[in-house]
Chains A and B, each alone.
Chain A
Amino acid sequence: MGGGLVMDGPEGRFSIGRRLTTCPTGLHLRSVATEDFEALVAAYRPKVFRFAMASLRDADAAQTVTQDCFLKAFQAWGRFRRECSLDTWLMTIAVNLVRDSVRNRRLQFWKRTSQEAEPAEIVERTLAGCGPTPEAQIILNEQVKAVWAAAAVLPERQRTVFLLRFVEEMELLEIAAATGMKEGTVKAHLFQALRTVRQRVGAIR
C-alpha cells in the first residue's frame, strides 16, 4: 500500500491517503503517520459506527458519519494535541457529525422513515438464555425493549449523553469533553434521560 488511510467500505477496502495525495493541494497528507492511523481506524470504527447507528438508526447515515469521522480525523491528525484521549477526540468528531446529520435529516422532508433491522429481534436473539426462568426472560426482554423505546423518544442531547454513558460506558468528564457540555449539564441530561427510561421500564413488572 502506498500509504494512506485504509477503510473497508461496501465496495471493499480502499485508501483515502492514496487518493488524496494525488490531489493538487496535497493537504499535507504525506506527513501523516498512516500506519498509526490505520490502526486507529481498525480499533475505533466499530465504536464510532455503533454510536452513530444507535443515534440515527439508519445504516447509511451511520456509515456516512463513520467515514466522515475518520476523514476529518485524518485531516486533523496533525492538529491533535493529545489534550484528551484519542477515544474522546474521535467521539467529539462523531458527536458533531451525528448532530449535523440529525439536523440535516430534520430539514429533508423526504427523510427516510424506514428503520434498519428491528432492535426487538436482536433483543430476543441476543438475550436468549439470560433470564433464570422463562418468565424472567420475557420480563427482561420487555424491559430492554422499553429502554430501546425510551432511547428513541429522548431529545437529541439527552440521547447522546445516554448512549455515550450506557452503550459506550464513557465517564461523565469524557462525555463532557466529547459533547462540549459542562459536567453539570451532562449530569442533568443523563438524569432526565434515566427518568424517562425508568418510567418505561417501571411500567413492566
Chain B
Amino acid sequence: MKKHLNEQEVLERVAGQRDAASDEHVRACPECRNEITRLNDALGGFRTTAREWAETVRREVAVRPPVRHRGFGWQGLRLAGVLAVLLVCLGVLLIRHEGPRAVEMSSTADDAVLERVDAAMSRSVPSAMEPLSQLVPTQRKELALKEKVEGAN
C-alpha cells in the first residue's frame, strides 16, 4: 500500500477535493480514514454549533432592548468626557498665557463637545432603523447639491 496521505492530501479530502488514488488509500487504511473522519466530525460539529449559535443569538437580539451601537455609546461618552476635561485644561493653560480672550475660545470648544454629547444622548432613532436613517443626510446632501446646480443654471 502507498504510504499514508500527507497533510496536503488529508486537507484536500477534508475540503471536498477527492481523487481516485486517495479514495483507494483511505478505503484500505484505517489510520488515514480515522484522521479524516476526526477532522470531518470536528468541522461538522462546528457547522452545526455555528448555525445553532447564530440562530440563538438572532432570537436573543430580536427580543432585547435596542443597543445604540452606531452612536457614541457609553464608551464614546466617556471619551467625550475625557476630551472635555482635556479641553478645559488646555483652556486653563491658555488663560494663563493669553488672558480673557482664551476663555472664550475654550468655552466654545467645550460647547462643541457638549453639543456632540447632547446629540448622541438625544438620538431618538431606534437602532434597527439607524442604517436607514443614515441615508437621509446623504439625500439631503444630494438635494442641496441639486439646488446649488439649479441655482447656478
Contacts and interface: CB of A to CB of B under 8 A. Distances in A.
Contacts of B12: 191
- Does more than half of chain B's interface fall in helix, strand or loop, or is it mixed? helix
- Does more than half of chain A's interface fall in helix, strand or loop, or is it mixed? helix
Interface residues of B, number: 53
A119 B53 contact: yes
Interface in A42-69: 46, 49-50, 53-54, 59-64, 67-68
Interface stretch (B18-26, B71-79, B96-104, B112-120): B71-79
Interface in B30-52: 38-39, 41-43, 45-52
A60 B127 contact: yes
A23 interface: yes
Given A50-B50, A110-B75, A201 B42 contact: yes
Interface in A9-36: 9-11, 14, 16, 19-20, 23-25, 27
Interface string B104-132: 00000000000000000000001111111
A148 B54 CA distance: 13
A126 B39 contact: no
B62 interface: yes
A143 B38 contact: yes
Interface of A: 7-11, 14, 16, 19-20, 23-25, 27, 46, 49-50, 53-54, 59-64, 67-68, 71, 110, 116-117, 119, 122-123, 125-127, 130, 140-141, 143-144, 146-148, 151, 163, 165-167, 169, 172, 187, 190-191, 194-195, 197-198, 201
Given A10-B126, A62-B61, A194-B39, 9 more contacts: A9-B126, A27-B139, A61-B69, A117-B57, A125-B52, A140-B42, A191-B8, A191-B11, A195-B7
